[in-house]
Chain A
Amino acid sequence: MVTAVDLDAHMYDVVKVGHEQLMGEVIKIQGENIIIQVYEDTAGIRPGEPVENTGLSLAVELGPGLLTSIYDGIQRPLEVLVEKMGDFIERGVTAPGLSHEKKWEFVPVKKAGDTVGPGTIIGEVQETNIVHRIMVPPNLKGGVIREIRTGSFTVEETVCVLEDGTELTMMQKWPVRVPRPVTEKKNPDIPLITGQRILDGLFPIAKGGTAAIPGPFGSGKTVTQQALAKWSDAEIVVYIGCGERGNEMTEVLTEFPELEDPRTGKPLMERTVLIANTSNMPVAAREASVYTGITIAEYFRDMGYDVSLMADSTSRWAEAMREISSRLEEMPGEEGYPAYLAARLSEFYERAGRVETLNQDMGSVTVIGAVSPPGGDFSEPVTQNTLRIVKVFWALDAKLAQRRHFPAINWLNSYSLYLDSLHDWYDENVNPEWNRIRAWAMEVLQKESELQEIVQLVGSDALPEEEQVTIEVARLIREVFLQQNAFDPVDTYCSMAKQYDMLKAIKTYADRASAAQRAGVLTSQIVAIKAKNDLPQVKFEKDYNVLLEKIYAQMEAEFTALKEA
């Protein structure tokens, strides 16, 4: 924290502090005193050193070159920083977010004489396998095109000139704390398919929706989030490692480039932007990283893409706010967090959504935020304020993790408020029966938890016969359907069709079991049916249908044999 005097500054202006020109941001103005939060370590800075105002607020550079990039919290490319200052992050080094030298092949989609408005797409660049659409910046009013060029340009060169003389380049700058404008926000009624059974099957999130993953440490939150980044069917992935562990960030940074996109066969990195701000990097840059990430996400949304944004973790972000606030000696709210915590969180999540863009396309930003409540206490302010905003809650559970039930998402505490709006989509695209089977599975799990309480007291033998079957069916749902191995090459992604087939198979066993029970077959015999023992193997089979048919046939045979006996 640095205080400057005699500086003509506005709130959130970016300033350069001291002889080393450390980057900082104005966070408080008090009479003559301008309070600056510096993004870098301030050791050795003395009173009397100069402070220079850039007059701009913290903005990111948006244009071709974003994809495959790995940034720190204030959009400095980490790869360039390694070249400039070696393996450790020293201070006072700046690097532009986009390469200003690299040339991109610009192909216009508009011609001279066309009228363009804010957000209109004027041309395209084949950036990776993703087409980067070049737009009129939303803060310009547009006009009639006088000249539009074809060929290879850097992001700073003019590609289009309007009648009023405005020159457009492929790059635009946007202040990170201001949401980018859209035509209209739409209702989220298409699910984001993640390939994770407990998510798609039981607690789906819509494209443009918001979700929170809270989890005490050690409950597999990071693994779940990474599985989402890898497998969700969004075209663009923005991953913010906010206050993350260095080694885990490295795992993401080394794993992503190696991963193959299941749909294109190209590296997954080609549609990814990573923001890595580890816990020991400056706290102010951590606070900014979340805004940097969502602004980049919105930019791709404006091109008409579905974007999924993961913020890991928003608790670290809130912690950064708390730290800055306490340095400012602001009156603390709950548990030392600033009083504006709730407002900041809701502003951030509200930037998610499925929208009609200024160019009249459909695009979405889905926000999945991780929350790490201290001591796993969900009543703490960050978790509580987040839950008031988000529509989906995936409750990670350390107890499940200890039992090595992964993903360790508690099926009783989790919820999704998108079930109603997604109902029709499942009807049309998965199976008309899906919504019913899903409800059935939830009911069995709910029932099981009630029965478990009784079992805890009196033992499982004391349960009525039919409920012993319920317990067995619930066990199948848990161990076959809900448990998913993120490290198994096949099981790591499960299509909706396979999810339906698996749940259907369990349901078939349950139906046959109750039918057999009514016919007077002993419960112990029903529970001992061997066919279901092969069900877990279905998860790991690529062509699972062969095995599934075998299971169906064996089940049929066994039940028939039981009935005859």
Chain B
Amino acid sequence: MKEYRTISQIAGPLVFVEKTEPVGYNELVNIVQADGTIKRGQVLDTSDELVVVQCFETTAGIGRDSGVRFLGETIKMPVGRQMLGRILSGSGKPKDGGPEIVPEKRLDIGGAAINPYARDTPRQFIQTGISTIDGTNTLVRGQKLPIFSGSGLPHNEIALQIARQAKVPGSTEEFAVVFAAMGITKEEENQFMQDFERTGALEHAVVFLNLADDPAVERIVTPRLALTTAEYLAFELDYHVLVILTDMTNYCEALRQIGAAREEVPGRRGYPGYMYTDLASIYERAGIIKGKKGSVTQFSILTMPGDDITHPIPDLSGYITEGQIVVSRELHRKGIYPPINVLPSLSRLMNLGIGEKMTREDHKKVSDQLYAGYAEGVDLRGLVAIVGKDALSERDRLFLEFADLFEDRFVRQGHNEDRAIREDTLDLGWELLATLPEEQLVRIDREMIQKFHPRYRKKAAEESGTSSATASDLRSESM
């Protein structure tokens, strides 16, 4: 292989090489330092005179005396079944002291777009055991749902709890977790790894770690390696894969860093103009394909700079992902875990995964009513601040109390509390709704109220003589 010693300029992570043979766009590059160290990079721009190489590691030590080898292929990821249980670096090298991965296949990490025609509609309910997700922002298989958080909020705990508890009730299909960390601290890494080891989750997980002190440019490839692995596990080995990407904000920072080094015209807040398309090429790699057994579900975490949901990172993410779970500082300050604010949260695929045969026929209505009641109660808090509680009507007072109750009982739950959708989450919802006057439950039709409202259920139970007939009937019909 030809080695060029024609480096003309080095700026940040970029290396400019002159007068080469024709080099392909996106090709892999090895840069050989004078001391023999090899660093990896990728072609960003190519022409007859000049090739721009983006180095994945620090350019410290690279000089005009370094050699450049073009490998003639784009980045490929070696994948195989034995990756499960392994811990890899952000560029895919073993980090757990184990042997190199023996590839069953080598896949292009760019990942082609799934033909929309080949996709199947996601409609399988995933139970996370967290009421604010299952009950009001339901996750389904094949969905991409990010957590919008802020610095200092317990988004990692939430992600871990989801990774621990997520299951499709009644299903025994094989599942795997692919975890990609971008720019997280060593402490956060420990937190994740200890939890994985404690719960035995590591056995069916593949972990990619790019830590805070690893090169920023490597962060560009980390999520792509993870998703390539996930797609392989899902669409070739029939696993149901949950991908956790954290923290997408660090990824976007790396993108901006490279854009600046290339002297590109910056877009909003200095982020490159193509950030939307770039993020789409990550987020869109989730879904189900017709005729394939597996699925890729994506859970990405991003911290909103300054808790600003209109910041380009959450904003562009929200346009690509199918909803968002918003973690609230206010609830966190009140000491509520998980501090998920349901009002700005949303799952766009929720309606596909809930209802009669999937969760329970009253799910949508209960969720709508909880939302409406809580929104009204929160609005009233503003009013109370001005006029005081005494000026409220009886009805308003009930809604105000409902909002408090909702936060305290529905939102708040234990780190290890795994709530079942029907018996715990939905019935709890009804219990809270029962504190409101029945005629205020305008989002629920009468039939449902008659069937599920605790008042009628109790009555029905008393009449039939058995204390929990309704509940146990429901349980058995749903299995």
Contacts and interface: CB of A to CB of B under 8 A. Distances in A.
Given A375-B315, A460-B393, A251 B352 contact: yes
Interface residues of B, number: 85
A459 B392 contact: yes
B344 A402 contact: yes
A443 interface: no
B442 interface: yes
A458 interface: yes
Interface stretch (A40-48, A172-180, A192-200, A290-298): A40-48
B126 to A, nearest CB: 14
B348 A253 contact: no
Interface string A304-330: 000000000000100100110111010
A319 B276 contact: yes
B118 A87 contact: yes
Contact of A81 (B108, B115, B276, B287): B115
Interface string A215-248: 0011000100000000000000000010101111
Contacts of A374: 268, 310, 312, 315-316
Contacts of A47: 22-23, 46-48
B250 interface: no
Contact of A323 (B22, B277, B319, B382): B277
Contact of B310 (A332, A377, A536): A377
Interface in A371-417: 372, 374-377, 398, 402-404
A565 B46 CA distance: 90
Contacts of B273: 322-323, 325-326, 336
Interface string B369-395: 001100110000011001100011100
Interface in B269-326: 272-274, 276-277, 280-281, 283-287, 289-290, 292, 309-310, 312, 315-316, 318-324
A3 B50 CA distance: 14
Interface stretch (B1-9, B24-32, B92-100, B187-195): B24-32
A62 to B, nearest CB: 21
Nearest to A326: B273
Nearest to B276: A319
B346 interface: yes
B319 A278 contact: no
B5 to A, nearest CB: 20
A46 B46 contact: yes
Contacts of A246: 113-114, 116, 119, 284, 286-287
A323 B281 CA distance: 15
Nearest to A88: B112
A88 B113 contact: yes
B110 A41 contact: yes
Interface string B423-451: 00000000000000001001101000000
Given A217-B319, A247-B322, A374-B312, A279 B116 contact: no
Given A88-B115, A280-B280, A323-B273, A533 B439 contact: yes
A479 B442 contact: yes
Contacts of A553: none
Contact of A3 (B47, B321, B391, B443): B47
B89 interface: no
A329 B265 contact: yes
Interface in A17-61: 41-49
A280 B281 contact: yes
Given A42-B25, A46-B46, A246-B114, A459 B346 contact: no
A6 to B, nearest CB: 13
A279 B275 CA distance: 11
A44 B24 contact: yes
A319 B315 CA distance: 13
B117 A70 contact: yes
A375 B304 CA distance: 13
B368 interface: yes
Contacts of B268: 335-336, 374
Between A70, A245, A326, A372, the greatest number of chain B beta carbons within 10 A of the residue's beta carbon is seen for A245
Contacts of B383: 456, 459
B284 A279 contact: yes
Contact of A336 (B48, B112, B265, B290): B265
A218 B113 contact: no
Given A217-B319, A246-B287, A319-B277, 17 more contacts: A43-B26, A82-B115, A87-B115, A87-B289, A88-B113, A89-B113, A218-B344, A222-B348, A250-B287, A279-B276, A279-B320, A326-B264, A326-B265, A336-B266, A402-B343, A402-B375, A540-B445
Closest 6 CB pairs between A and B? A375-B310, A279-B280, A43-B26, A78-B117, A280-B284, A88-B112
